[in-house]
Amino acid sequence: MGEFIAVFAIFMVFSIPILAIWTKHRKEVMSLQAHETAEKAAQYAASNKELEDRVRVLERIVTDRGYDVATQIEALRDQRRVDDELAQLEDRSKVR
């Protein structure tokens, strides 16, 4: 029984500092993880803010009474057709 107590005492003498070192290491790791998580949260918040701003602009464009989205889209399509036809005519004239 006395040998068991001696072995146990030696074990405790060595295990307490090891436990302290391990605990300190775990605390540092958790602190680093918390810092990294906070950085990611800040990045997501900034990204979310940008997206919210863009949605507000789009909502303003769509709900603005003086803004006729369909008419402007059609005007852009018509302009693109005209530009394509002019480009084709220029290509034909270069070939001749």
Residues of the chain with pLDDT under 70: 65-69, 95-96
Question: Phi/psi of residue 72, each to 5°?
Answer: -70, -35
3-state helix, strand, coil in the chain (%, to 5): 95, 0, 5
Cβ–Cβ under 8 Å, residues 86 and 78: no
Chain segment 36-62, per-residue pLDDT in tens: 999 999 999 989 999 998 888 888 777
Looking at residue 40, its pLDDT comes to 92
What is the structure's pLDDT at 66? 58
DSSP string across 29-65: HHHHHHHHHHHHHHHHHHHHHHHHHHHHHHHHHHH-T
- Give residue limits of the domains in the chain: 1-64, 68-96
pLDDT at 37: 94
